[in-house]
Structure 1
């Protein structure tokens, strides 16, 4: 009897040991920096010479024109790019889920491939492709769609369009995988029954596919929102936030506050926590709008 209890105790302690190690590591490398960043957001000063200033940094956000511009730019990316990307990902997933389609493996790999490319590498490629003398302008001129090259990088409007195209190209395949895997878990008999009842492809998509994919659509919407609010690599490597601050994102502004301007790590931490607040608010709204009404 005692041997059995000791054996169970050892098994239990072994389990707790395996749980404890990742908990300690996550606490040290994840939660501790978060807490320190929150404390830092209540301080201000140059370099490491920081003084406690209370909520002054948070009040400063509302009068900081550069921060407000970065927020506006980021929300333009969010409101335009995320819906376009998710609709495109869902449309492609439905097409690639068709049993009659040949070479499905090739198309799935080709569309997902941008996801695994280096952020810096693909951003640099896009910068040269969309340059004044880049291949995109040459292609459009040769097709007589435009008379003169579009200033994709130096015009405020077209620079935003370039960033949106770049993000959409890279992350559409990523979200497509979620939709595709979910579509494959839907019983084919559901669609067969709908066809017998006279439902066409359009009706099946909106009455069957969309409702059954609702949890995945909510998940991809939240993750895409978080990713866009943290947008950094594309902006820095394609436009450097220019022209002026026309394409600057919030994450780039945090970087500039820390390393490009006179270092103000306290205010940079404050701007970082503004992203946290935006993520929390938008996630709550999305859960409220798209979540299960029964929960």
Structure 2
């Protein structure tokens, strides 16, 4: 009897959380941290882009930082370097990723699981460690790459003292690191393509090349668009590799927009100007993403 009364008392006791407000209570910590570490810094840096330092204090400067930015030749150099890497490296990387994904999705390649993990592994490798490894491999005097070239009768390449080859070195590192990452995304898209489409194409006499361009590529269009947008955003935010490997040199040949932003903010302590660079880059990324979505997205 006592147990029954105790259970009845517990059942009639009101919960300290209202069922209608419970979801908001549970998501409140995440919202709080998002607002504190994402929303607030974004708004603060936007306001900072309209300020400049005078006598150690930040004062309102209107659009002076943006006016200075659009007449800054070094900013255009950094932007040109970044776009050059984007235009050359991203198509090469995504083409390799698609080729690897198709190969590892087929039954002709054995140990598919091993190769998938091996190609994906660089994307989880520390950026600093990867850049240092390539610094050693591409060393002009003692690097393994130049040693192999010399054994083949080719003159050693000045990887980090020549502007052209310094860009090539950066592209090699980025391609090595992110090809496997994009391959995994494309591989997931390939596995969602119905095999019935390929069987119907075989009945019609289509070969491998025809099936690739008539079935695989069209069916992968949303995934290809996704990887293109991600790769574009990532390349426009390129910082770690040039910072560690070349420090923007030689003669600003590998200076990127984010590295120029970093130099202004944390080397010259011109935070207002650095913030204006950041928001111009945000606008550029938004415009490019919108163009890519319009060109590559479904128009219906």
8 Å CA contact 1:71, 1:250 repeated in 2: yes
Looking at structure 2, the residues matched to 190 and 205 of structure 1 have their Cα atoms a distance apart, in angstroms, of 11
Deviation at 1:18, TM superposition (A): 1.8
Normalised by the length of structure 2, the TM-score is 0.92
Deviation at 1:63, TM superposition (A): 1.2
* 1:281 equivalent in alignment to 2:290: no
Structure whose alpha-carbon radius of gyration is higher: 2
Looking at structure 2, the residues matched to 103 and 42 of structure 1 have their Cα atoms a distance apart, in angstroms, of 57
Looking at structure 2, the residues matched to 27 and 206 of structure 1 have their Cα atoms a distance apart, in angstroms, of 45
- In structure 2, what is the equivalent of residue 96 of structure 1? 104
1:58-97 correspondence runs (5 A):
58-97=66-105
1:226-237 correspondence runs (5 A):
226-237=233-244
Listed one character per residue, the Cα deviations across residues 142-189 of structure 1 (whole Å, up to 9, x for unaligned) are 122x1x211011100000010011100000000001000111111212
SS in 2 for 1:141: helix
Pick aligned residue for 2:273 from 259, 267, 274 = 267
- In structure 2, what is the equivalent of residue 16 of structure 1? 24
Q: Which runs of 5+ in 1 are unaligned?
A: none
Q: CA distance change for structure 1 residues 80 and 47 in 2, over 3 Å: closer, same or farther?
A: farther
Looking at structure 2, the residues matched to 91 and 11 of structure 1 have their Cα atoms a distance apart, in angstroms, of 52
Deviation at 1:224, TM superposition (A): 0.6
- In structure 2, what is the equivalent of residue 204 of structure 1? 211
- In structure 2, what is the equivalent of residue 182 of structure 1? 189
Looking at structure 2, the residues matched to 248 and 128 of structure 1 have their Cα atoms a distance apart, in angstroms, of 21
- In structure 2, what is the equivalent of residue 222 of structure 1? 229
- In structure 1, what is the equivalent of residue 255 of structure 2? 248
Listed one character per residue, the Cα deviations across residues 123-153 of structure 1 (whole Å, up to 9, x for unaligned) are 0111121111211111111122x1x211011
Looking at structure 2, the residues matched to 14 and 189 of structure 1 have their Cα atoms a distance apart, in angstroms, of 47
Looking at structure 1, the residues matched to 78 and 37 of structure 2 have their Cα atoms a distance apart, in angstroms, of 28
Query: Which range is displaced more, 23-32 or 111-120?
Result: 23-32
Deviation at 1:20, TM superposition (A): 2.9
* 1:154 equivalent in alignment to 2:161: yes
Looking at structure 2, the residues matched to 178 and 136 of structure 1 have their Cα atoms a distance apart, in angstroms, of 30
Q: CA distance change for structure 1 residues 36 and 103 in 2, over 3 Å: closer, same or farther?
A: same
1:129-144 correspondence runs (5 A):
129-133=137-141, 134-144=143-153
Looking at structure 1, the residues matched to 83 and 69 of structure 2 have their Cα atoms a distance apart, in angstroms, of 16
SS in 2 for 1:50: strand
Query: Which range is displaced more, 250-259 or 284-293?
Result: 250-259
Q: CA distance change for structure 1 residues 69 and 174 in 2, over 3 Å: closer, same or farther?
A: same
- In structure 1, what is the equivalent of residue 41 of structure 2? 33
Q: CA RMSD in A?
A: 1.7
Q: CA distance change for structure 1 residues 56 and 184 in 2, over 3 Å: closer, same or farther?
A: same
Looking at structure 1, the residues matched to 260 and 57 of structure 2 have their Cα atoms a distance apart, in angstroms, of 21
SS in 2 for 1:242: coil
Listed one character per residue, the Cα deviations across residues 43-91 of structure 1 (whole Å, up to 9, x for unaligned) are 1126952221111111111111111110000001110111111111011
Deviation at 1:11, TM superposition (A): 2.8
Looking at structure 1, the residues matched to 63 and 256 of structure 2 have their Cα atoms a distance apart, in angstroms, of 23
